[in-house]
């Protein structure tokens, strides 16, 4: 199987880019952040305190999180319920960033991710794909952009959806999430030694896709 790993911080454009690259290659796009978000949603719905590591460990084995593809779109099922529409709220983002630091949460989702990549050609995005989940991926990309550019992208995304958004608040949240994702002891966000760094700050989406397709062609 061909495995392409795309890692990077929040708002770097991973999912937009990974989706397009997967479509070009006719591979399956796997959004691992959505799996952590589904777990976070489960924990929130169960009334678990985001600071209570023992309760998170005890609860995370319970839900069944599965991934399906409907018309090419990844659907995350939490105990059979399609929860896609609930995954992108600030509350879920915050809980996902906290609960994803828990080793039991990671162990559970790691198996699911490895299993998908064994069965399918995938473009998988996340934080630890090149370093931990798919260390043998044929292509590894580390996608990044400046904090200001990433905050601006998130802000526009929300405004386009008709939601309220505050740029300063988004920038602060992104910084906080980066800090937590990069400094946790288990599977922190970091560039794999054999990953190619792509800084998208001054690139359009099409330019980034073209750059990555070029890297893939060189490697495979």
Residue 20 engages ligand DC in binding (rule: CB under 6 A): no
**How many C-beta atoms lie closer than 10 Å to residue 59's C-beta?**
19
To the nearest 10 degrees (0 to 180), the angle between helices 32-45 and 90-99 is: 100
The pair of structure tokens assigned to 64 is 């069944």
Report the C-alpha gap between 5 and 94 in whole angstroms. 24
Q: How far is the CB of 32 from ligand DC (least distance, A)?
A: 4
Residues 107 to 126 in contact with ligand DC, rule: CB under 6 A: 126
Residue of the chain from 100, 102, 131, 173 that contacts ligand DC (CB under 6 A): 100
Q: Of 49 and 214, which has the nearer Cβ to ligand DC?
A: 49
96 binds ligand DC (CB under 6 A): yes
Per-residue binding letters, 126-165, with ligand DC (x by CB under 6 A): xxxx------------------------------------
- Computed over its alpha carbons, how large is the radius of gyration of the chain? 17
How many CB atoms neighbour CB 8 within 10 A?
26
Question: Is 181 one of the binding residues for ligand DC (CB under 6 A)?
Answer: yes
Closest CB 201 distance from ligand DC, rounded Å? 18
Q: Residue count at the site for ligand DC (CB under 6 A)?
A: 14
Which H or E run includes 36? helix 32-45
Which residues, listed in sequence order, are joined to residue 8 by a DSSP beta bridge?
A: none
- Say whether residue 9 binds ligand DC (CB under 6 A): no
Q: Is residue 76 a contact partner of residue 96, using CB atoms and an 8 Å limit?
A: no
Which pair of structure tokens corresponds to residue 155? 């802000």
- The site map against ligand DC for 48-87 (x = CB under 6 A) is ----------------------------------------
31 or 212: whose CB is closer to ligand DC?
Answer: 31
What is the signed CA dihedral for 220, 127, 205, 151, rounded to 10 degrees? -170
- Binding positions for ligand DC, rule: CB under 6 A: 10, 32-33, 36-37, 96-97, 100, 126-129, 177, 181
């Amino acid at each position: 199987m061909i495995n392409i790993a795309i890692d990077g911080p929040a708002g770097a454009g991973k999912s937009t880019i990974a989706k397009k690259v997967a479509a070009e290659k006719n591979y399956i796009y796997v959004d691992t952040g959505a799996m952590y978000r589904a777990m976070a949603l489960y924990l929130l719905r169960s009334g678990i305190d985001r600071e209570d590591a023992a309760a998170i460990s005890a609860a995370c084995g319970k839900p069944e999180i599965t991934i399906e593809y409907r018309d090419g779109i990844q659907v995350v099922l939490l105990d059979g319920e399609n929860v896609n529409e609930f995954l992108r709220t600030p509350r879920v983002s915050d809980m996902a960033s906290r609960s994803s630091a828990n080793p039991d949460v990671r162990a559970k989702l790691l198996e699911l991710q490895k299993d998908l990549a064994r069965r399918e050609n995938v473009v998988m995005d996340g934080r630890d794909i090149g370093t931990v989940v798919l260390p043998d991926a044929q292509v590894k990309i580390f996608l990044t952009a400046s904090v200001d550019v990433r905050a601006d992208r998130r802000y526009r995304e929300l405004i386009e959806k008709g939601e309220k958004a505050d740029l300063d608040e988004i920038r602060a949240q992104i910084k906080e999430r980066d800090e937590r994702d990069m400094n946790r002891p288990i599977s922190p966000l970091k560039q794999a030694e054999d990953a190619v760094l792509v800084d998208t700050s001054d690139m359009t989406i099409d330019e980034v896709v073209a750059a990555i397709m070029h890297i893939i062609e060189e490697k495979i």
